[in-house]
Amino acid sequence: MREVFFYLFAFLSVAFAVISVTHKNVIKGGLALLSSFIALGAVYFTAGAEFIGIVQVIVYGGAIVVLYLFALMTMDLKSFGKEPLRALSLAVGGAVSLVLFVSVLYAGYRFYGGSLTAGISGAKEIALPLFYRFLLPFEVISVLLLVATVGAVAVGRREE
Amino acid sequence: MTPFDFFVLSGLLFAVGLFGVIVRRNVISLFFSLELLLNSANVLLVGFSKLHGNLFGEVFVFFVLAVAAAEAAVGLAIVVALYRYRKSVNTEDFSLLRW
């Protein structure tokens, strides 16, 4: 059963990612990105990474994409204009991403047929390494978030 | 569900995101593609965490999430400020410093 849901949600997340990248309308692209992130959270659930799945849905779906959509509301969508498709950039983009995809598959080929641990990692299991071994990075990340918040307000405020 | 499936999913997401970064001209769409790139790395970190049986990969995903939130906040502030000056989010209108 886990396998079926893993493949289903993996397919959904890739399909919505393709829609979000290629759609002309930015709002619809953002909603497709939201769906892609939620499907990815479900993929983490099927892999047993419970806490990461929840955090993925809350942070990516609830905070980041909503932040993008709020910023889009302050802009005039009609002023965005057309994006002409250039054959050169399409060819370069397709070729580079294809090469990268093949190289990722090549790097992962030696893990073909291996097996994963079946354990479920909830908040309790994550807390142990997070608050003992990685306590200093955790504190540094909190300072980074504070700096980013102050910086975003400083950059975004109107000049008098 | 083998480790290789995580490689396929991560590679597909990374390819889609990189395609978007190269092809799109809208700054907001570029941000969407960047988030996809970060997510593809997260998928692989979770896969390796489950492969090796320890949780260090998932802790790192937690840190990546925090950095992605900071990046989204600062990046959006810059885009909104630029939009106020130029009334545009197209990267081709931001070519003032181009050689």
Residues A139, A72: one domain?
Answer: no
Contact B70 A145 (CB under 8 A): yes
Q: What is the pLDDT of residues A64-118, one digit of tens each?
A: 999 999 888 888 877 777 777 788 888 999 999 999 999 999 988 888 877 777 7
Under 8 Å between Cβ of B1 and A2: yes
Q: Within a domain: residue A112?
A: no
Sequence-ordered alpha helix ranges (H) in chain B? 3-23, 27-52, 56-86
Q: Within a domain: residue A50?
A: yes
- From residue B49, alpha-carbon distances to A64, A103, A114, A133, A152 in Å are 25, 21, 13, 16, 33
Q: Within a domain: residue A29?
A: yes
Domain count, chain A: 2
Q: Residue A43's domain is classified under what CATH number?
A: 1.20.120.1200
Instruction: Return per-residue pLDDT of chain B as tens, 99 residues.
Output: 788 889 999 999 999 999 999 998 889 999 999 999 999 999 999 999 988 888 898 999 999 999 999 999 999 999 988 888 888 888 888 888 877
Task: Say which residue the tokens 């502030």 belong to.
Answer: B77
pLDDT at A158 exceeding the cut of 80: no
Domain that holds residue A62: 1-78
Q: Within a domain: residue A53?
A: yes
Which residues of chain B lie closer than 8 angstroms to A51, CB-CB? 58
Q: In the predicted model, what is the mean pLDDT of residues A118-133?
A: 87
- B83 touching A, CB under 8 A? yes
3-state helix, strand, coil in chain A (%, to 5): 80, 0, 20
- A63 touching B, CB under 8 A? yes
Give the one of B18, B20, B63 whose C-beta lies nearest to A137's C-beta.
B63
> Searching chain B, which residue's CA lies closest to the CA of residue A51?
B58
- Mind listing the domains of chain B with CATH numbers? 3-93 (1.10.287.3510)
Task: Say which residue the tokens 């939130």 belong to.
Answer: B69
- pLDDT given at position A160: 64
Which residues of chain B lie closer than 8 angstroms to A52, CB-CB? 42, 46, 58, 61-62
HSE toward the beta carbon, residue A141, CA cutoff 13 A: 18
